[in-house]
Amino acid sequence: MPEPTGPRTPEPVDAEIVPDPTPAPAPPATGYDERGVPSLDYVRDKIEGRYATSIGAAELAEGTAAARSVEEQEAERAAKAKAKLDEIRRSMGN
């Protein structure tokens, strides 16, 4: 007998229903009291961490070629501005 050429329907498979595992209790939020107010130490640590991150990001940004290029452009502009100001002062003195 020839095989059917249409789409085949899969045979049913016996499956076992497994209950979801009970989720582990969430750890207590550190740095907060029972009313949800953060402690001063927690806030201080958070601020210090953000400050340290920003300082590190600034230090990394200064080390890139693009930052050096910007610094060179600023220095060149400042030198040109000083030269122009000196020229103006000389012309006013005559």
**Please, which residues have CB within 8 angstroms of residue 43's CB and are 6 or more apart in sequence?**
31
27-45 tens-digit pLDDT? 555 788 888 889 999 999 9
Strand partners, 38: 32
- pLDDT at residue 60 greater than cutoff 70: yes
- Phi/psi at 38 (5° precision): -70, 150
Averaged pLDDT, 60-68: 80
Compute CA distances 62 → 12, 16, 70, 78, whole Å: 64, 60, 10, 19
75-91 tens-digit pLDDT? 999 999 999 999 999 99
Question: Are the beta carbons of 80 and 88 closer than 8 angstroms?
Answer: no
- pLDDT at residue 1 greater than cutoff 60: no
- Of the chain, the percentage scoring pLDDT greater than 70 comes to 85
